[in-house]
Amino acid sequence: EVQLVESGGGSVQAGGSLRLSCTASGWSVPAENGYMAWFRQAPGKEREQVVAIDSCGTSEWEADSVRGRFTISRDNRRHTIYLQMTMLKPEDTATYYCAASSLAWCGMRRDVQYQTWGQGTQVTVSS
């Protein structure tokens, strides 16, 4: 069973940067690493997908709202993904969740289902 542990959230002023990490346990070899993504949910809003990365770490997708500011990457040897967030805005304030799929695939797909979720980490951006 895959489990996810997130870290790196916190408070920052607008224009600042943060890096989130998410480490997966339960994948015994790098080849089993599935698609992973970051979602976020702000109070009173629906959860939205922010970024995604394929199993090989060679294809990434970013939502329009974060493109050019957020970057997802992964280290399969460490079973860890990262979300580098720059030029943060107050509207980026949310709880950020790491998600993992059982789908191991190299190349970008937008039909990925995510079965495993982290506990969430809070990101607060003040103006």
- Whether 72 and 59 have beta carbons less than 8 Å apart is answered as no
pLDDT value at residue 26: 77
pLDDT value at residue 102: 86
pLDDT digits (tens, 9 = 90+) for 27-80: 655 546 889 999 999 999 999 999 999 999 999 999 999 999 999 999 988 889
**In Å, what is the CA distance from 4 to each residue of 36, 78, 100, 112?**
10, 12, 8, 17
33: its two tokens: 């690493």
pLDDT digits (tens, 9 = 90+) for 6-39: 999 999 999 999 999 999 887 655 546 889 999 9
105: its two tokens: 């695939």
Amino acid at 20: L
pLDDT digits (tens, 9 = 90+) for 83-113: 999 999 999 999 999 999 988 899 999 999 9
Paired sense of beta strands 116-117 and 48-53, if any:
unpaired
73 membership: H or E segment, kind and range: strand 70-75
